[in-house]
Amino acid sequence: MSIKAENLTHIYNKGLAYETKAVDDVSFTAEDGEFIGIIGHTGSGKSTLIQHLNGILKPESGRIFIDDIEITSKNVKMTQIRKRVGLVFQYPEYQLFEETVLRDISFGPKNLGLSDDEVVERAMEAMRLVGLDFETYAERSPFELSGGQKRRAAIAGVIAMRPDVLILDEPTAGLDPKAHEDILNMIRSVKERAGGIVVLVSHNMGDIAEMTDRVLVMDGGKLVRDGAPAEIFADEEFLKGIGLGVPPAARMANVLAAGGLASDRSVLTLGDLTDFLANRLGGAGGGADDETPEVSR
Amino acid sequence: MNLRKNVRFWVQAAVIGGVYAALTMALAPISYGPMQVRVSEALTVLPYFTPAAVPGLFVGCFVANTISFYGVPDMIFGSLATLAGAFLSYKLRKRAWLVPLPPILVNGVVIGAMLYFIYGVEPSLLADMAWVALGECLACYALGYPLLRYLKRHERIFRLTED
Amino acid sequence: MIRDITIGQYYPEYSKIHKLDPRLKIVVTLVYIVSLFLVKDFIGYAIVFASIGLVVAMSKVPIRFILRGLKPIFLIIAFTFTLNMLMTKGTILWSWGFVRITEEGLYNAVFMALRLIFLIIGSSLLTLTTKPIKLTDGIESLLKPFKKMGLPVHELAMMMTIALRFIPTLLEETDKIMKAQQARGADFETGGLIKRAKAMIPLLIPLFVGAFRIAQDLAMAMEARCYHGGEGRTKLNALKFRGRDAAAIIFVVIYLSAVVAERIFV
């Protein structure tokens, strides 16, 4: 199970005065099991890029392969793509429309042409994965649910299609801290139990640091960085230059380093930070020590 | 007069108009021309749910027609026909299956006449009327009626007076 | 795609025509359309052509935009033309089997086609040179006298303004919803009429819910700013008649007299 993008370019408003290259010669490969984060300032081409991965947009030039199927070729059937790549848009709860939660979640699987039994089975599984109790919610109207629940139902609608690649665009947008945390945990558990590749597009560097093991950085349509979170977030100057930040924990560590504490570029998450501080402060109590503490991730 | 209710009424109407116009534009190729199968005509069932749809559809049709290339006569007569149809639909709202009927008849007669007398579309007045009515019928019953049934289950979204 | 549709036909320019009072333009367009039905034969059309040609030139709108307005109704023109040509009885010019083209038929066909073309050009000019907001102001102003008869003029104008303002937003919503449902396998493009009709439901329901959410927010925002209806309301950019509007009126009067004269004397 792999995705491969080759020299992807997408031009909006081609031929007009205000033509723009939303995606400019982007190439990357992702393997099964990876958890990829995509970051970039607004307008950097993140959304455009991911919409190519599930066939909603077709590139001006370049190719995309899901396993060995070239989804950018003319002959490919949309169902082939949609079966494999699931895309959850921002504020997905706005796409809910059916009379009951069960029916709405079943929309995707039904469109794949599955049997009624299979559809229900998938819906049940999806609801379990997102943490919506079947007995309680299946027959309720989606419009009766709370914001967080609606979002889970919407995500379930995509998961029910059992995609090998799950792409989520800002899944925590607009949620209160608890719901935010819940959704992140939900995504983690979905990945653990369903496998495949997960792609997370987000403005929240903390989330990216927590969840992903590889980060793609977009700027002005180009893919400017591709590496592990530790590498990417080590270069705070560069990120600031393109309108991005670093995870709050990393920023804190940098501030402390500037104040005299030995710096540690591997501090990215809150967990890292607490360990780092515990190590630094628990022993000699500050001061310019030469020894670098052990930081557990 | 409860002013709060009043503002909400007109705003709801305006937004309905906006949806009508946006849909007409978004699905442009088939929305204009002699084969007026306007998907947005399915929205003519809205008077079933709220009286705000009557002025709303009127304005929506008018705005959609200012974008249309059919010209000023369509702006005037098309919108008035929509208004009349929507009003009658509202009056008939006790029976759901009758609601899509008035737009078909009113548009058929008015637009048909407009096509014949002003745009000179031959061969005959009746043919023009029948043609328009057919297109309306498709949009209103084939699309509009299922839409009505669906929306009935989500009736609460029409009640703006709640906080 | 949907992104590329520009709202309305407005062509931004700084011509004298653009700057005319919208009320005047609306009335003149209506007068013009009526005048098209007064024309008796081709001499009249020459007058129309000269006049509208002058206005088009003054508007600085490129010809291709004017002609673009004719494209969608090209079918109607062709339809009308053909039917008129084949169905009118009279002196036969040319025949082939069942097909009979008469002199009268040809004359009628061209006449009707020209009328249609002039009508669309005139209408297009109105929307090409007038911003939708100005158009709304113009209509509101013209309809003011009817307020006494109970016509909710202010509210209608406000509705138009709000609808116009939200159309781009709603178009974006439509686009987003379409894409989200397509990601779940919805198909809006293939299939017969009934199938496509059913496919619209996953688009229309969320669109409505979204639209009414917008309406609720807007109504609250308006109330929060003490909106209290149309009584005593003033405008930021009030419409005012200027010198060029008077010149336009004179031009129109001359035009109309010429057309009427053609009808009576020629």
Cβ of residue C247 closer than 8 Å to a chain B Cβ: no
Alpha carbon of B153: minimum distance to chain A alpha carbons (Å)? 7
Neighbouring CB atoms inside 10 A of A60's CB total 14
Where are the extended beta strands (E) located within chain B? Answer: none
Give the lowest-confidence range in B93-97, B155-159, C37-41: B155-159
In whole angstroms, what is the distance from residue B99 CA to residue B92 CA?
A: 6
Say yes or no for a CB contact (<8 Å) between A112 and C185.
yes
Say yes or no for a CB contact (<8 Å) between A143 and B156.
yes
Q: Pick from A22, A2, A1, A3: which is nearest to A11 by CA?
A: A22
Residue C230: Cβ-neighbour burial (10 angstroms; 0-12, 13-18, 19+): middle
Examine the pLDDT at A288 and tell me if it is beyond 50: no
Average of per-residue pLDDT across B88-109: 88
Predicted local confidence at residue A297, as pLDDT: 44
C-chain residue closest to A158, CA distance: C184
Q: Which domain holds residue B135?
A: 3-157
Residue B24 lies in a domain: yes
Task: Compare CB distances from B14 to C127, C152, C163 and report the shortest one's residue.
Answer: C163
Residues C116-152: tens digit of each pLDDT:
888 888 888 888 888 888 888 888 888 888 888 878 8
Identify the chains in contact with B, defined as 3+ C-beta pairs within 8 A.
Answer: A, C
Residue B13 is inside which H or E element, if any? helix B3-26
In whole angstroms, what is the distance from residue B127 CA to residue B43 CA?
A: 25
Identify the chains in contact with C, defined as 3+ C-beta pairs within 8 A.
Answer: A, B
Residue B162 lies in a domain: no
What 3-state DSSP class applies to A83? helix
Examine the pLDDT at A272 and tell me if it is beyond 70: yes
pLDDT band at residue B128 using 50, 70 and 90 as cut-offs:
confident
B-chain residue closest to A142, CA distance: B154
Predicted local confidence at residue B1, as pLDDT: 45
Largest CA distance in chain C: 74
In whole angstroms, what is the distance from residue C186 CA to residue C232 CA?
A: 50
pLDDT band at residue A87 using 50, 70 and 90 as cut-offs:
very high
Residues A224-240: tens digit of each pLDDT:
989 998 888 888 888 88
Distance of CA C252 to the CA centre of its chain: 20
> What is the residue extent of each domain of chain A?
2-229, 247-297
Residue B163 lies in a domain: no
Contacting residues of A for B157, CB less than 8 Å apart: 143
Are the C-beta atoms of residues C38 and C260 closer than 8 Å to each other? Answer: yes
Examine the pLDDT at A216 and tell me if it is beyond 90: yes
Residue B86 lies in a domain: yes
Predicted local confidence at residue B80, as pLDDT: 92
Look up the pTM and report it: 0.80
In whole angstroms, what is the distance from residue B152 CA to residue C207 CA?
A: 15
In whole angstroms, what is the distance from residue B4 CA to residue B15 CA?
A: 17
Examine the pLDDT at A121 and tell me if it is beyond 90: yes
Examine the pLDDT at A106 and tell me if it is beyond 50: yes
Residue A271 is inside which H or E element, if any? helix A270-282
In whole angstroms, what is the distance from residue A52 CA to residue A167 CA?
A: 11
Residues C61-80: tens digit of each pLDDT:
888 888 777 776 777 777 77
A/C interface, count of CB pairs below 8 Å: 61
Can you say whether residue C229 is alpha, beta or left, with left for phi > 0 and alpha for psi between -120 and 50 degrees?
Answer: left
Work out how many domains chain B is built from and give that number. 1
The two three-digit tokens of residue A180, written as one number: 């935010």
Superfamily for domain range A2-229: P-loop containing nucleotide triphosphate hydrolases (3.40.50.300)
Say yes or no for a CB contact (<8 Å) between C180 and A111.
no
B-chain residue closest to A98, CA distance: B150
